[in-house]
Structure 1
């Protein structure tokens, strides 16, 4: 389990490179990972009573990030395609060297199926309805075009912060948040 506020900022890495006649010390940009990007975006919104679990296997699905807090459960799924993506409610296409290629099954349909499955599992586990929200993030795509999408899709983790800010209800109590976080951490896949 990862407490959201415990993430530390990465320091730049200094590396020596050999030029033609001299050794030069260059400052390399610190490596960024998706967890750091997500934490950076939600740090101010999600305080001490939020927990984040990475790589949770719920049924047949592997959820990349699960955020659990008083406002509900937020599932974050990553799509790591670097190609340009054009998505509507009916179709999803990626650009290849041969033109546009249709993506099957539709990522939003898969996200909705996964969200329903997680809702039903959490309802059985907690004996009450738990609000579950889901996100589809394309962090590596060079161009993302969304048209009339009914799901939470975007190319950055700032979308997660916006939706959490808009959610006004705090329906989950602290023991329930801990129960859900424990349930998810038991199903965590360590990579």
Structure 2
């Protein structure tokens, strides 16, 4: 488990390199991971009572991040396609060298059905209704076009922060948050 506020910023790496005539110190910024990017975005919105679990497999679906807090459970799935993506309620297409290819089944419809199953499972597990929201993020796509889509789909993690900050109700108590976090950590896949 990872508390959102515990991620420490990485220090830039300093290394001496030999130039043509003299040595100099180069500062190399460390590579940023999606976890660090998400934590950086959520640091101000999600305070001490939020937990983030990475690589959770529920209902044969791997979620890259599961955020659990007083406002509910937020499932984040990262799609690492680099080609252009066009999404609407009816179809999802991505660009290939031969043109546009339609993706079946639609990733949002699949994600919605899995979210409903997880919502039901958590309701049985906790004995109360648990708000579950899912996100589909395309951070590496060259271009994302979303038309008339009611789902949470974007090219950056900022949509997660926007949805959490707009959610006003805090329905979950601390024992329920811990119970859900434990349930998710049991299903964590260690890579």
| TM-score, normalisation: structure 2 | 0.94
Q: Which runs of 5+ in 1 are unaligned?
A: none
Residues in 1 aligned to 2:2 and 2:77: alpha-carbon distance in whole angstroms:
17
Task: Let me know the Cα RMSD of the aligned residues.
Answer: 1.4
Per-residue deviation, 1:121 = 1.1
Q: Relative to structure 2, which stretch is displaced further, 41-50 or 100-109? A: 100-109
1:125 aligns with 2:125: yes
Q: Say how many residue pairs are matched.
A: 191
Unaligned runs of 5+ residues in structure 2 are none
Inter-partner Cα distance in structure 1 for 2:160 and 2:53: 15
Residue aligned with 2:67, SS? strand
Distance 1:189 1:20, change over 3 A: same
Q: For 1:1-191, what aligned pairs fall within 5 Å after superposition?
A: 1-16=1-16, 25-191=25-191
CA drift at 1:28 = 2.2
Deviations 1:53-74 (A, max 9, x none): 0111112111111000000000
Task: State the Cα deviation string for residues 120-168 of structure 1 (Å, max 9, x = none).
Answer: 1101111111100010100111111100111000011110000001100
Query: Distance in 2 between the 1:97 and 1:86 partners?
Result: 15
Residues 59 and 114, structure 2, Cα contact 8 Å, conserved in 1: no
SS in 2 for 1:65: strand
TM-score where L is the length of structure 1: 0.94
Query: Cα offset for 1:106?
Result: 1.0
Residues 15 and 126 (structure 1 numbering): CA distance in 2 closer, same or farther, change over 3 Å?
same
Instruction: Tell me the CA shift for residue 186 of structure 1.
Output: 1.0
